[in-house]
Amino acid sequence: MKQPVRVTVTGAAGQIGYALLFRIASGAMLGDDQPVILHLLDITPAMDALQGVRMELEDCAFPLLAGVVCTDDPNVGFKDADYALLVGARPRGPGMERKDLLEANAAIFSVQGKAIDQNASKNIKVLVVGNPANTNALIAQRNAPSISPRNFTAMTRLDHNRAMTQIAIKTGKTVNDVTNMTIWGNHSATQYPDLFNAKVSGQTASDLVDQAWLEGDFIPTVQQRGAAIIKARGASSAASAANAAIGHVRSWALGTEGDDWVSMGVYSDGSYGIAEGLIYSFPCRCKDGEWEIVQGVEVNDFSRAKMQASEQELAEERDGVKHLLP
């Protein structure tokens, strides 16, 4: 049996946390030969609820669960962490402007970035789920100067999965027939799901649908799926978000399949003309625990305009929290 790794989950007492922790402990994220010690971090008022989650984790008797730490102290939460899933975030309250939301979250993610810097493994792999995910990832990364910026990523896998299913349904196929999907940009309404490079049974997806459906139906459906779920369910997508987080970390740690790729919000190296240093979603392949941005993906004028609009939004978000970026 391998040595256990430490996996920190913030917001562990929340909705996504509840859908996520049991799957991590079951081996779905890191493989069924990798024991884990879970570090559950939440805020002080959530500590009772967190004890309930711990009891349920214990009651599952997961063979791979080698320990559970519950805490409201980020220094304890990130101590020696090998992986961190930053899920906990401040939701938008009534009358809260986007700017207020950015600020409130920037405060949380700068504290957590510092705690990661001071306590975690230098090889930690960080996934930010809490919104605004890309900019929260940027803030955490900039507050952790002793750790490679490549180790901070943001989640667009849920958007990626949503896009795969929409094109599968439209073409009468299943997700098993869909490959090479890309979400470009920000995890927000400006994200760009790309059908010009996606394939369905080996055929270019955009050739199988008309432009009116692509622009008027597919893109808005993927972009606004989160809002549609809140409207229908009266609560935000938690199970599918947790599933996407499992998929993101699993691909990163254990590798992507063959020639296929996944979408990950990663530190831009200037690929595709995207400003260096933004956390931007690109097509990525992973091997041996490292991701790389897939090069040479075709970008037509339509795609370019959408990719730049999302880049612009990310640059504005970054500038809005400039004072919190060391």
Q: Which of 43, 60, 227, 239 binds ligand NAI (CB under 6 A)?
A: 43
Residue 133 binding ligand NAI, by CB under 6 A: yes
Find the helix or strand (DSSP H, E) in which 265 lies: strand 262-267
Stretch that binds ligand NAI, among 24-32, 124-132, 174-182, 311-319 (CB under 6 A): 124-132
Beta-bridge partners for 125: 83
**Closer CB to ligand NAI, residue 48 or residue 288?**
48
Report yes or no: 245 and 213 within 8 Å, Cβ to Cβ.
Answer: no
Strand arrangement, sheet containing 279-287: 65-71, 36-41, 5-10, 83-86, 125-128, 152-154, 262-267, 279-287, 290-293
| 104 annotated ligand binder | no
**Closer CB to ligand NAI, residue 181 or residue 200?**
181
For the residues of 165-184, what is the DSSP string, one character each? HHHHHHTT--GGGEE--EEE
Residue 15 binding ligand NAI, by CB under 6 A: yes
Q: How many residues does the chain have?
A: 326
Q: Which of 79, 162, 170, 187 binds ligand NAI (CB under 6 A)?
A: 187
Q: In 3D, which of 64, 51, 62, 56 has the Cα closest to residue 5?
A: 64
Say which residues have a Cβ less than 8 Å from residue 202's Cβ, sequence separation at least 6. none
Residue 89 binding ligand NAI, by CB under 6 A: yes
Phi and psi of 256, rounded to 5°? Answer: -90, 165
**Closer CB to ligand NAI, residue 130 or residue 247?**
130
Structure tokens at 113: 């970035």
Residue 108 binding ligand NAI, by CB under 6 A: yes
**Closer CB to ligand NAI, residue 64 or residue 321?**
321
In SS3 terms, 61-115 reads as CCCCEEEEEEECCHHHHCCCCCEEEECCCCCCCCCCCHHHHHHHHHHHHHHHHHH
| 185 annotated ligand binder | no
- 3-state SS, residue 130: coil
Stretch that binds ligand NAI, among 8-16, 55-63, 140-148, 206-214 (CB under 6 A): 8-16
Indicate if 323 belongs to the active site.
no
**Closer CB to ligand NAI, residue 35 or residue 130?**
130
**Closer CB to ligand NAI, residue 35 or residue 283?**
283
Q: Between residue 262 and residue 321, which ones bind ligand NAI under the rule CB under 6 A?
A: none
Provide the pairing of β-strand 125-128 with 83-86: parallel
Q: Which of 7, 38, 41, 293 binds ligand NAI (CB under 6 A)?
A: 41
Task: Count CA within 13 A, CB hemisphere, residue 231.
Answer: 5
For the residues of 276-311, what is the DSSP string, one character each? TT-EEEEEEEEETTEEEEPP-----HHHHHHHHHHH
Residue 131 binding ligand NAI, by CB under 6 A: yes
Q: How far is the CB of 184 from ligand NAI (least distance, A)?
A: 15
How many residues touch ligand NAI (CB under 6 A)? 28
Q: Between residue 224 and residue 253, which ones bind ligand NAI under the rule CB under 6 A?
A: 236-238, 241
Residue 81 binding ligand NAI, by CB under 6 A: no
Q: How far is the CB of 169 from ligand NAI (least distance, A)?
A: 20
Q: How far is the CB of 300 from ligand NAI (least distance, A)?
A: 26
Residues classed as catalytic: 187
In the annotated binding site for substrate, the residues are: 92, 98, 131, 162
Binding residues (CB under 6 A) for ligand NAI: these are 10-11, 13-17, 41-43, 46, 87-91, 108, 129-131, 133, 155, 158, 187, 236-238, 241
